[in-house]
Amino acid sequence: MKLVKNTKNIETKQVSDTEAEEAFRTILSWIGEDPTREGLLETPKRVIKAFKEYFKGYREDPSKVLEKTFGDVEGYDDMVVQKNISIQSHCEHHMAPIIGIAHVAYIPNKRVVGLSKLARVVEIFSKRLQTQERLTIQIAQALMDSLDAKGVAVTIDSTHQCMTMRGIKKEQATTVTNYYLGQFKEDLSIQNRYLKFISK
């Protein structure tokens, strides 16, 4: 193992694919399975491949995604709203899926960013172990800081399988979080306009 820096610039031990696969074989044995039977021989390798996709956000920097902006927008200074961005994340407490949608809005300060980049930032933070509250704040703060926006709003509506498949098992329960910065927080009329947009 070698030391690498994580997303918070803290050194952690880098675990090899081989070591991770062995850990999953141990888990298969722990749940009562035989990791040497035919159907499970390649499972640790497949799980590693899947985990690399589930948690690829640890290897990506949202500020890099937001570096390129455009100023040729003829003075556009109203909110830009992107609705219904799909979210697939995992909760940090049980590593169970979080499935939902995000709505994102910002008020540009002379420059705008490509529309796909908003969804990309949501994707980067979603592909990490999360709480929904932190995820909402991280998306908003990244947009506010990188775009020097006049205001940012983020809403997430999702289902947590840690409470639908286990524990209290409330299959229909969803969770909604909102976070506002700048003009969205300071001006309720702007906040209300945003809420009307995303409710349509």
Asked whether residue 4 carries a pLDDT value surpassing 80, the answer given is no
Which pLDDT score, from 0 to 100, does residue 127 have?
98
* Rounded average pLDDT over 34-45: 97
To which H or E segment does residue 2 belong?
Answer: strand 2-5
On whether both 101 and 13 belong to a single domain, the answer is: no
Which pLDDT score, from 0 to 100, does residue 200 have?
81
User: Mind listing the pLDDT tens digit for each residue in 95-147?
Assistant: 999 999 999 999 999 899 999 999 999 999 999 999 999 999 999 999 999 99
* Rounded average pLDDT over 158-165: 93
Residue 6 pLDDT level (bands cut at 50, 70, 90):
low
Asked whether residue 3 carries a pLDDT value surpassing 50, the answer given is no
On whether both 123 and 194 belong to a single domain, the answer is: yes
* Rounded average pLDDT over 157-176: 92
On whether both 75 and 169 belong to a single domain, the answer is: yes
90 given a catalytic annotation: no
* Rounded average pLDDT over 161-186: 94
Report the percent of the chain where pLDDT is more than 70: 94
Residue 5 pLDDT level (bands cut at 50, 70, 90):
low
Catalytic residue among 21, 91, 103, 183: 91
Residue 11 is part of a domain; what is its CATH number? 1.10.286.10
What lies within 8 Å, CB to CB, of 181 at 6+ separation is: 140, 141, 144, 149, 151, 152, 153
Which pLDDT score, from 0 to 100, does residue 8 have?
63
92 given a catalytic annotation: yes
d(CA 50, CA 4): 21
162 given a catalytic annotation: yes
Sheet with 175-182, strands from edge to edge, namely: 129-130, 80-91, 97-107, 151-160, 175-182
On whether both 74 and 49 belong to a single domain, the answer is: no
Q: Which tokens go with 92?
A: 């940090």
Catalytic residue among 130, 138, 160, 191: 160
Which pLDDT score, from 0 to 100, does residue 86 have?
98
Which pLDDT score, from 0 to 100, does residue 72 have?
84
* Rounded average pLDDT over 49-70: 96
On whether both 97 and 181 belong to a single domain, the answer is: yes
Q: Is 95 left (phi over 0), alpha (psi -120 to 50) or beta?
A: left
On whether both 93 and 158 belong to a single domain, the answer is: yes
**How many structural domains does the chain have?**
2
Whether residue 78 lies inside any domain: the answer is yes
Which pLDDT score, from 0 to 100, does residue 124 have?
98
On whether both 95 and 158 belong to a single domain, the answer is: yes
Whether residue 146 lies inside any domain: the answer is yes
Q: Which tokens go with 27?
A: 């888990």
Whether residue 61 lies inside any domain: the answer is no
On whether both 85 and 139 belong to a single domain, the answer is: yes
132 given a catalytic annotation: yes
On whether both 169 and 88 belong to a single domain, the answer is: yes
**Domain containing residue 18:** 2-54
On whether both 42 and 139 belong to a single domain, the answer is: no
On whether both 30 and 110 belong to a single domain, the answer is: no
Catalytic residue among 19, 93, 133, 186: 93
Catalytic residue among 60, 82, 88, 94: 94
160 given a catalytic annotation: yes
Catalytic residue among 130, 132, 138, 183: 132
Closest CA to 58 of 118, 128, 3: 128
Asked whether residue 12 carries a pLDDT value surpassing 80, the answer given is no
Whether residue 39 lies inside any domain: the answer is yes
Residue 38 pLDDT level (bands cut at 50, 70, 90):
very high
